[in-house]
Amino acid sequence: MSDSPASVELIDYAQLEPFVEIGFEEFRDILDSMVEEAPVLLQTLITAIETGDETTGRSKAHSLRGMLLNFGCNAMAVLLSGVERAPVFPGGDPAEIVSVLQTLWQRTRAELLDWAAAQGGSA
């Protein structure tokens, strides 16, 4: 993996503009669904990392990465790509990876919701 989560933008806001142009209310519904679903996938991934379940871990990393890329969540996508494609799962110290995943998700979620609120939608 050539990039690290710290080397890319947390969120690519330009990627969100087409959603808003379609209609903010529809976008907000989709965003809210993602914000509810992502933690479920993330927890399944974390459990897989903690238990060494490579098959589930790689699958959930892939699914979560795809979901988050739709919302321009670049830093999370880079981290998840590293987990998914690591030669040896999960690609480093499991406790450190879990900590970074949790922290990065909280930052990403907060920024997305702040951005959405600034566009005229309440959280």
**19 in a structural domain:** yes
Separation between Cα atoms, residue 29 and residue 74, nearest integer Å? 21
Residue 24 in any domain: the answer is yes
Token pair, residue 14, equals 């330009």
56 in Cβ contact with 44 (< 8 Å): yes
Question: Considering the domain boundaries, does residue 123 fall inside one?
Answer: no
Q: From CA 69, how far away is CA 8, in angstroms rounded?
A: 13
Residue 13: both structure tokens together: 């806001």
Question: How many domains in the chain?
Answer: 1
What are the tens digits of pLDDT across the range 59-76? 999 999 999 999 999 999
Q: State pLDDT tens for residues 44-103.
A: 999 999 999 999 999 999 999 999 999 999 999 999 999 999 999 999 999 999 999 999
Residues 1-18, mean pLDDT to the nearest whole number: 82
CATH number at residue 81: 1.20.120.160
Q: Which domain holds residue 56?
A: 5-118
Residue 28: HSE in the Cβ half-sphere, 13 Å Cα cutoff: 14
Judge whether 17 lies within some domain.
yes
pLDDT band at 123 (very low <50, low <70, confident <90, very high): very low
Task: Tell whether the model's pLDDT for residue 120 goes beyond 50.
Answer: yes
| φ and ψ of 34, to 5 deg | -65, -45
